[in-house]
Chains A and B, each alone.
Chain A
Amino acid sequence: MRKTACAFFIAFFFHALFFQETAGAVLRGEFVSTWQIKNFSFAEFKDKRLTVKGLWDPEITIPTPNLNAADYYVIEMRAKTTNPMGFLRVVWKADGRTRFYPLAQLPLSSDGDFNAYSLDLRARTHYPGVKLWNGEISTVSITFFGFGDTVEIEDLAIKKPDGITEKAIITWRNFFWPEAITPLSINSASPPFLFTFSYAFILNIIAVMAALAALAAYLWKKREKDSSPGEPRATRVSAIFIVLLLLWMAYDLRYTYAQALSTDTVYKSYVKTQDGRRRFSNMDDFYDFAEFARAQLKGEDKIFYFHEPVERNFFAHMKYLLYPLKPITFEKPGAGVPMRSMGRVHAVYKNPNVRFDNGMLYVNGNPVAKGKETARYDDYSFIFREEN
């Protein structure tokens, strides 16, 4: 009876995991015609390869009418990027919602070669069993973080995995991908996922089941009254303690692996860089630019205008790194600052809306100051000094 029950359970488990209906990949090779690409300076679809150079963070929006989330839940991509610490973010609209909804993040490899990525979108749950990748998906949007970097994509598809092997590979890869370093990393640490359940949840369930088993064994022994008084408590605690410690280590092993990988990525992208540019997560090479700006600003430039990148907030970092120099925003010049001490210098960092042309500084197409460009950092970053 027990053997039959076990066999049934195992069969049911494997059926649930692997033997679902299969279907082919969708959307593959349909670049450009239906997809929208934003925030790029260069985009080309040639020989079934999409090359996108970011103006800031390039974003590919894929319309997915009537896409059944239950069937199609893996984003498969083969790509390479020039950003050694880049990552992608996926958001989507589901069930007629007008706003984009949860996000999944994935660090991209920094080895400069084409790499295959498979991101299981079901692995983002709010509560056990409540999937956020659910219902009918209408739009999927993928953002590649990295200003001015180039992403080459050979293959991008939202698909349903076929067969046991593919599902196992995807699950394995998703489990071991480290979390991308973001400003929120200090606030929380997302657990890895195994299928649709978080690893922390799975280990918690195992712990509870082990405790229940220990309790059952204890009650059984107590019923038989064959144990000496005082012994069972220590035995019980020791059994549960050992199980919990092993589960803790199982989680920590994977976390330490991710931690080490993350440290290695930081070392390669920020310390021992191949191209001399120090880049860090969503800050890109801002730290280099801050040093560049400090070298260009003179003692009398105590207050200067800082034009930061679109949709980013580097202001606090600039304020800290360049202190006692004081950046102010151009939108609110003079707020609380006497006119005579307002900035005469503009530091522009990766902001395509601010440009210098023919002795004039333009912000959003409007001329705002006459002067000269005193130093250029890259296509969209420079130092401008006003002239009377």
Chain B
Amino acid sequence: MKIRILILLICTFQYAAAQKYISKTGHVWFYSHTPMEEIEAHTHQAASILDASNGDVTFSMLIKGFEFKRALMQEHFNENYLESDKIPKAGFKGKITNLASIDFTKDGIYPAEVSGDLTIHGVTKKITAKGTIEIKGKVVTVKSKFEVVPKDYNIQIPSLVENKIAKEVDVNIDTSYNPS
């Protein structure tokens, strides 16, 4: 009987330990398209924690980590628009709203919805984003795409370049997690 309890306790502990997933190399990129200009920037260094037991998801990234194709764009993005010396980080803190329909113990691709607070340029706004969660063995991959309006986050675009930057910027996430 004692052995059974011990086995159960070990199994429970292992299950509980595997509830949190971590990623330090999350790929986040944004894309702005206007007839005049296409702008794309990537970071592969977003840090994220996903707690499968309660659906908590956090993302954190450095603004300076976003890489552009053109050096001047990157300079303007950091110095004029996002003021990365003053506000170096952006992040998200939220919850998976359909956690019950995702089985983290069974391989598959599950539709997912996340809702929470997105902080950019020191401004926090509530957002809801749809995406997928893929379970493959111990690796969990989260993919999502949502839109961000720069104006909502107090990002001032000078009128001279206003036509070159989309009113709504596509943000994409592709992050693979391992159990912590």
Q: Do A and B bind each other?
A: no
- Chain A interfacial positions (CB closer than 8 Å to B): none
Write the residues of chain B forming the contact surface with A, with a CB cutoff of 8 angstroms: none
